[in-house]
Amino acid sequence: MDSAPAAAFLPPELYRSEAVAALERQHVATRFWHPVAAAADLPPGHVLAVELLGLPVLLCRGRDGVVRAFRNRCPHRAVAFREPAEGTVACRRLVCPYHGWTYDLGGTLLAAAREAEFVEPFDRGAWPLEGLGCELRASLIWVAPGADPIPLDDQLDLPLQEAATPLSQPLVPLAFHRQTLACNWKIAHDNTLDDYHVAIAHPTTLHRMQGPVRHYSHRFGTWANLLATPWQDGDTEFLTFGLPPWNHLLLWPDGRLALIQFLPENLTSCTMQVWLLGPEARKGEGEVLMAEMVSFLAEDRVLVESAQRGYGEGFLSGPPHRLEARILHQQAIYAALLEPWYASGRMPR
């Protein structure tokens, strides 16, 4: 895709409908891969329990170095093997705390307590852990909750095309930030794609980082889009990618990478998560660098929460500006995924 689609914002009704929110969970979120952890946080021989949109997930990295993801529930009676509060744990075997079923980190059942006493003949091979799609990209672990996601390299089409070398560098976590925003996730996602507001709303923070609006350059892939702005040295660019369904990837020429995502909670709130990664040598700078990001994110919070209050009955979006082209691009992807329900009349327009 060489240019953004025709100008038409999504109707505000899609931001207020419980039926639409259910379709997003079932037919938008499940089409994509989602970052759930930094790769460096899971060394070989360790496991990490996380949650992905309410789905308990267990990440396992065996001694072979391969990262695998499983539904975090024992196939016998659905009890979790580990809890997210435990963090990364050194582990050779997964032992269910309920009935002692024991698995290796590849998801194979090794033993079940009192195997000879099952009512029917017991076959260990019939009870592996439930695997989920799991891949490493950009020093992050990505998991696919759906059975038929688009390929991850397609989802990351433009980042891999425009920044293949920096994305291939091994980075370590520098800092992590999480907070709840009192707005629908689409309002927060739209705002982070909105290059029209930066100079006005962030004059001393993000605008200084991105530079004059006249130097903004937009590029569009099938799934991702890009705002590129000259960096301070004039020879390199600061890259901000918008990724479906609700992610944003920022790349600095100095080797830093940030991933911002807006995870749906309900119609009027979402969770913003920010990973900041970089070279090992910058590990001691993490909190200072994150504070720089949090300063402009706090400015955005005021704006998106105000927009949420205004998105009630009777509101109709104004005309898009050319600097809102990235919003239109991502909204067109969203609308295409929900087109079958548009066509059937089963959702508000």
pLDDT in tens, 131-186: 999 999 999 999 999 999 999 999 999 999 999 999 999 999 999 999 999 999 99
Supply the Cα-derived Rg of the chain in whole angstroms: 22
Q: What tens-digit pLDDT sequence spans the chain (349 residues)?
A: 444 445 689 999 999 999 999 999 999 999 999 999 999 999 999 999 999 999 999 999 998 999 999 999 999 999 999 999 999 999 999 999 999 999 999 999 999 988 888 899 989 999 999 999 999 999 999 999 999 999 999 999 999 999 999 999 999 999 999 999 999 999 999 999 999 999 999 999 999 888 899 999 999 999 999 999 998 767 889 999 999 999 999 999 999 999 999 999 999 999 999 999 999 999 999 999 999 999 999 999 999 999 999 998 889 899 999 999 999 999 999 999 988 876 555 555 4
CA distances from 154 to 93, 266, 306 (A): 34, 28, 34
Q: Which residue has the tokens 């969770």?
A: 271
Q: 41-135 adopts what CATH topology?
A: Rieske Iron-sulfur Protein (2.102.10)
Write down the CATH superfamily of domain 12-32+168-344.
Naphthalene 1,2-dioxygenase Alpha Subunit; Chain A, domain 1 (3.90.380.10)
The DSSP bridge pattern shows strands 55-61 and 102-103 to be unpaired
In the chain, % helix, strand, coil (3-state, to 5) comes to: 35, 30, 40
Is 256 in contact with 276 (CB distance < 8 Å)? Answer: yes
pLDDT digits (tens, 9 = 90+) for 237-257: 999 999 999 999 999 999 999
Beta bridge partners of residue 35, listed in sequence order: 142
Mean pLDDT over each residue of the chain, to the nearest integer = 93
CA distances from 238 to 8, 197, 209, 215, 220 (A): 28, 18, 8, 11, 16
**Single-letter code of the amino acid located at 22:** A
Question: Where in the chain are the domains?
Answer: 12-32+168-344, 41-135
Report the run of H or E that residue 21 belongs to, with start and end.
Answer: helix 18-23
Q: What is the pTM of this model?
A: 0.92
Closest CA to 293 of 169, 222, 210: 210
Closest CA to 347 of 17, 100, 4: 17
pLDDT in the model for residue 6: 53
Q: Same topology for domains 12-32+168-344 and 41-135, yes or no?
A: no
Task: Provide the CB-side half-sphere exposure for 285 (13 A, CA).
Answer: 13
